[in-house]
Amino acid sequence: MRDDDPALRHAGRLCRWLGAQVESEPAEGIAFAVPAAAGPVTAHADWAQSGAMALTGRADGPPLLAPGAPASALRGALHVLSALTSQQYPGVELLGERAAVAGFTRQGPRSVGSSYLPVATVDGWAGLSLARDADFGLVPALVEREVRGDPWCAVRQWAAGRSAEHVASRAQLLGLAGVRIPAPSEARGEPHPFAFTRGESRPRRQPPVVVDLTALWAGPLCAHLLGLAGARVIKVESVRRPDGARGGPAAFFDLLHAGHECVALDLSDERGRAALAVLIGRADVVLESSRPRALRQLGIVAEDVVAGGTTWMSITAYGRSGPGANHVGYGDDAAAAAGLVAYDDGMPMPCGDAIADPLAGVHAAVATAAALRAERAYLIELSMRDVAAATLDLDGAPPEQVVPAAPRARRPLRRAAGLGADTDVVLREFGIAQ
């Protein structure tokens, strides 16, 4: 494998993380050849072509290069996914698709979607996302005073007199997505973005049935890629709290969910929870992106499901275990927590559009596709922060002159199904009483 292409280097270590061997002939375990590029492709060229570079930086300033090689890491992961499934997938432009559909442009230091902002502290920088209307209502509790006018102004003033760790900890205590942004000089290892726990084996359906409990971007992108590989995807939503992406650009929701069956259940009702348990138990794969306690409150225990032979992919901001297990996180702040930010005059700018989301979605699809080739089921834990961090040590080349491409998006094949459009048909098929 060539060492001059960061995408192929990342593909190689992905295979090591997944327990595979990259060779020209089949070998023990999962073995395949990674496609060779026509010539060396640099991290900066991948970043420019992805559309993410055009989204990075100030509105009145130049587009910025990202640290490491996030776009190349995504390309390498797609190489591995193609090898696992014998399918072709989109390329690095996945990083800019949502922005292309929504019409987002760079507006650093604020995120392109406007919900995230870095704030200066006494010892560096913290990052905060106010993504929900309720988050703004928590700002007075965060800053410990009444807030009039712009809540972001109050956050900046409050953070300026405190440490970055304190800002992040207090935000998370209140259920807000707050992070400490590490300095560029801080040492980074090679973080392993996956954790695997082996379960039991049982026969799988062909095509495999994927029950998708995720929302927004990372999980739905994983489901979308598995669907392109031929899996049957059943999207399950709460009738009371459907996927928030339904309220965003319809074309982007259609792009990720076209062809998926849509089931809606009342999870406050015992029958709805029982139906969910049956669907999960019949699935070959479950995708979820909730904090661990959320499903446990519904009587769903991932470890028990995996023990029954169903593979479970859990996509969280900071992992299912450890001090960050129940912390809130979104794509921009999870990337910032890893140090995946671009600096302009000493200020950390968010890279691309919620970049940890598409990075996590593609890597989740790779790990799930690999697990489907194994006899046993697996509980797979994926941390969005750690996926972002894993892209930072891939490139050591000096900056080069590149021309950033505008974000671009594929056209949806058709409209996605409406909320609960397939509920009756799916429940009857699986013998679930209504």
Please give the domain boundaries of the chain with CATH numbers for all domains.
109-434 (3.40.50.10540)
pLDDT band, residue 396 (cuts 50/70/90): confident
Instruction: Give mean pLDDT, residues 324-328.
Output: 87
Q: What is the pLDDT of residue 189?
A: 57
Q: What 3 state SS string does the chain have? A: CCCCCHHHHHHHHHHHHCCCEECCCCCCCCEECCCCCCCCCCHHHHHHHHCCHHHCCECCCCCCCCCCCHHHHHHHHHHHHHHHHCCCCCCHHHHHHHHHHHCCCCEECECCCCCEEEEEECCEEEEEECCCHHHHHCHHHHHCCCCCCCHHHHHHHHHCCCCHHHHHHHHHHCCCEEEEECCCCCCCCCCCCEEEEEEEECCCCCCCEEEECCCCCHHHHHHHHHHHCCCEEEEEEECCCCCHHHHCCHHHHHHHHCCCEEEEECCCCHHHHHHHHHHHHHCCEEEECCCHHHHHCCCCCHHHHHHCCCEEEEEECCCCCCCCCCCCCCHHHHHHHHCCEEEECCEEEECCCCCHHHHHHHHHHHHHHHHHCCCEEEEEEEEHHHHHHCCCCCCCCCCCCCCCCCCCCCCCCCCCCCCCCCHHHHHHHCCCCC
Q: What is the pLDDT of residue 289?
A: 94
Q: What is the pLDDT of residues 121-176, one digit of tens each?
A: 999 999 999 999 999 999 999 999 999 999 999 999 999 999 999 999 999 999 99
* 27: pLDDT strictly greater than 60: no
Q: What is the pLDDT of residue 375?
A: 87
pLDDT band, residue 398 (cuts 50/70/90): confident
Mean pLDDT across the chain: 91
pLDDT band, residue 79 (cuts 50/70/90): very high
> The whole model's pTM is what?
0.95
pLDDT band, residue 1 (cuts 50/70/90): very low
pLDDT band, residue 28 (cuts 50/70/90): very low
